[in-house]
Structure 1
Amino acid sequence: MQHKSVTTDVLDIAYLDYGAPDGWPCIMGHGFPYDVNAYAEAAQILAQAGARVLVPWLRGYGPTRFRSASTLRSGEQAALGADLLAFMDALEIDRAIVGGYDWGGRAACVVSVLHPERVVALVSGNSYNIQNIARSMEPASPPEEAALWYQYLFHNERGRSALERNRRGFARQLWAMWSPTWRFDDVTFDRSAVSFDNPDFVDVVIHSYRHRYALVEGDPAYAAIEAKLAAQPPVRVPTIAIDGDSDGVNPGTAHHARKFEGFFERRVFTGAGHNLPQERPAEWAQAVLDVRKAAAKP
C-alpha cells in the first residue's frame, strides 16, 4: 500500500489512508518499537464499516521526516500530542475518533484531554497513558522495575550506542518479551523493522526515555503543553480502554478508571500482549465501533 504525506510546521508526516475519503475519520497511532503495520488488519475492518482510517508514522519512524535539522529530536509526550493535532489540522479534520497504544495511545490521550472538542471518542491501549513526570522517580515493585530494563539502559550512552548498533535486535527482543503469546514470524517483524531505519529514530527514542524521568530538558516549543499535562487532567471524551492479560511490560491499568469522566469501559484482551491491534485486530476494531456508538448516544 502506497503511503501519503502531509506537511506540518515541524514534520512531513507519512501515513496510510484506508477507506473512502468521505468516511468517518479515525486516526490510529502505533507505539515503540512498532509501526503502522500494527493496524494493517484492523484498519481494513474499520474501512469496511465506513471509516476513513488514517495511520501515521510517528516522528522518528518510517518515512516521516523533520523539516529542519535544527529541531530538537524530542520524543516527549507533548510533542507526540502536538504532532497528532497538527496532522488533523493539515488534513482539515475537525473531529475524529483517535486511538492507539504505547506512544500512539499517549498522543491520543494528550489530544483527548487538552482538545476534547476535536475528539469524537478515544480507544486507548493501557488506559490513561499520560506520564506523571513529577513522580517518575518513585520506585515500583521488583517485577515492574525488571520489565523496564530497556528504559534504564537508554538513560546512559551505552544504551544509546547499543540501540544505534542493533535497532532491530532490541526491537525484536522487546516484541518477544512484551507479547509472549504472539507467534509473529520473520516476515511480520521485518515489515515493521524497516521503520526503525529512520535517521532520527535513535535520537527520538533516547530523548523519550530520558525526558519521561526528567533526565533531559524538553523542547521549549512544547513547554506549555507539558505544564498542562503535569496537572494530570482527566479524560472527558467517551473512552474504551484496553489491556492485554499477557502484556510483558504493563501489569494492567484497572486503577486508571478514576481518570476518566463520562462514558468509560475497560476491556481485557485474553491472551494478548502489548501490541494490541496487531495481535487482536478484530477485537480492536470492535472497540472502535463500540465507542463510536457510545459517543453517538444523547
Structure 2
Amino acid sequence: MQQKSVITDVLDIAYLENGPPDGWPCILGHGFPYDVHAYAEAAPLIAQAGARVLVPYLRGYGPTRFRTATTLRSGEQAALGADLLAFMDALGVARAVVGGYDWGGRAACVVSVLHPERVIGLVSGNSYNIQNIARSMEPASPPEEAALWYQYLFHNERGRRALERNRRGFARQLWSMWSPRWAFDDAIFERSAASFDNPDFVDVVIHSYRHRYALVAGDPAYAGIEATLASQPPICVPTIAIDGDSDGVNPGTAHHARKFEGFFEHRVFAGAGHNLPQERPTEWAQAVLDVREAAERSAA
C-alpha cells in the first residue's frame, strides 16, 4: 500500500491507498489502540476485486496532524464522522463502501446516518457503533464494567499521566485482553505502536473517553452533529455487522439489529477478538465485497 496525504479544513490526513485509482471506492477506519496496519492483509484482498481501498490514520494517530494549534484535540464521535466526510470530500469521493471497527467503525456509522447518499454500503464491527451519551452513566453488568477499566482510568489525571508515560504498555495490554486468541508478535505490535507517538495521541484519546460519558464538553464545531446523534437515529444503508466471539471488550451486538433499516446481516467471526480485520482479513474482505453486492441488488 502507498502512503499519501490530503488536506482538509482541520487536518492533514495521512492514508494508505491500495488498488487502481479508478476502482470503486472503499474507505476503512481503524480503532483505538490500533492503526492503518489493521488492514495490511484485508486491503489487498479487496483491491484485487477492483476496489480503490483508502485507509486513513485517524486524528491523533501516525502522520495525521491538526492544521492549527488552537483546534480542540477532540476524540468525540462527531469529530470522527466529520473527519471521514471531509476526507471523502478532499479526495473527490462521491460515494464509497465504508467500514471499520471501534473508533473507525463509529466514524463510518456516523457518516452512514448523516449522509446515507454518500455511502454504498457499511461494514461495521460491533454493529450500531454510535454512542448514546445521554445514557452513558447507566451501569452495565459487572463483567461489562470490568472490561471498561481503561475508560474509567482515563477519566482522571492519573490515567492521563499513565497513558502519556507508557502508551505502548497500555496498548499492548488492551490488545492482549481484547483479542485473547490472536497470536500477534512484537513486530506486528510495533508496526502499529509507532502511530501512538503522534503528539496529539494522548489528548485525543483522553478527550474521547471523557466526552462519551459527558465529563467534558465537545468541540462547538461539532455540536450540531452530536445533537443529531443524540436521538440515536437508525442506519438505513445496506449493512453487514460483525462481532468476534472472543471479543474481550464487547460481549456481542446481535441485539442491535433493530437499529438498522433495509438490508442487514449480522456475522460472527469464530475465534476472533476485537481487532476484526487484522485477525480475520479474509472474512473481513468478503464482508466488504458482500455488502457491495447487496447494495447493487438493492439499487437494481
Query: Per the shorter chain, which TM-score range?
Result: over 0.9
Amino acid at match of 2:259: K
Instruction: Mark the runs of 5 or more structure 1 residues left unpaired by the alignment.
Output: none
Q: 1:162 — aligned with what?
A: 162
Q: 1:111 — aligned with what?
A: 111
**Take 1:75 and 1:294, find their aligned partners in 2: how far apart are those partners?**
32
**Take 1:3 and 1:269, find their aligned partners in 2: how far apart are those partners?**
29
**Take 1:114 and 1:233, find their aligned partners in 2: how far apart are those partners?**
9
TM-score using structure 1 length = 1.00
Cα shift at 1:87: 0.0
Q: 1:179 — aligned with what?
A: 179
Q: 1:58 — aligned with what?
A: 58
Q: 2:212 — aligned with what?
A: 212
**Take 2:57 and 2:12, find their aligned partners in 1: how far apart are those partners?**
10
Q: 1:99 — aligned with what?
A: 99
Amino acid at match of 1:29: G
Q: 2:191 — aligned with what?
A: 191
Runs of 4+ in 1 over 6 A off after TM superposition: none
Amino acid at match of 1:14: A
Q: Say if 2:4 and 2:16, in contact at 8 Å, map to a contact too.
A: yes
Q: Between Structure 1 and Structure 2, how many residues are aligned?
A: 298
Q: Say if 2:2 and 2:18, in contact at 8 Å, map to a contact too.
A: no
Q: 1:149 — aligned with what?
A: 149
Instruction: Please state if 1:240 is matched with 2:240.
Output: yes
Amino acid at match of 1:285: A
Amino acid at match of 1:56: P
Instruction: Mark the runs of 5 or more structure 2 residues left unpaired by the alignment.
Output: none
Q: 1:83 — aligned with what?
A: 83
Amino acid at match of 2:44: Q
* Cα distance per residue 1:31-72 (max 9 Å; x no partner): 000000000100000001100000000000000000000000
Q: 1:33 — aligned with what?
A: 33
* Cα distance per residue 1:8-30 (max 9 Å; x no partner): 00000000000000000000000
**Take 1:55 and 1:99, find their aligned partners in 2: how far apart are those partners?**
10
Amino acid at match of 1:240: I
Q: Say if 2:60 and 2:198, in contact at 8 Å, map to a contact too.
A: yes
Q: 1:230 — aligned with what?
A: 230
Amino acid at match of 2:203: D
Q: Secondary structure at the match of 1:163?
A: helix
Cα shift at 1:2: 4.1
Q: Secondary structure at the match of 2:41?
A: helix
Amino acid at match of 2:61: Y
Q: 2:202 — aligned with what?
A: 202
**Take 2:152 and 2:30, find their aligned partners in 1: how far apart are those partners?**
22
Q: 2:23 — aligned with what?
A: 23
Cα shift at 1:3: 1.2
**Take 1:285 and 1:40, find their aligned partners in 2: how far apart are those partners?**
11
Amino acid at match of 1:53: V
Q: 1:8 — aligned with what?
A: 8
* Cα distance per residue 1:93-130 (max 9 Å; x no partner): 00000000000000000000000000000000000000
RMSD: 0.4
TM-score using structure 2 length = 0.99
Cα shift at 1:286: 0.2
Q: Say if 2:19 and 2:51, in contact at 8 Å, map to a contact too.
A: yes
Amino acid at match of 1:250: N
Query: Sequence identity, in percent?
Result: 87
Q: Secondary structure at the match of 1:3?
A: strand
Q: 2:285 — aligned with what?
A: 285
Q: Secondary structure at the match of 1:266?
A: strand
**Take 1:289 and 1:74, find their aligned partners in 2: how far apart are those partners?**
33
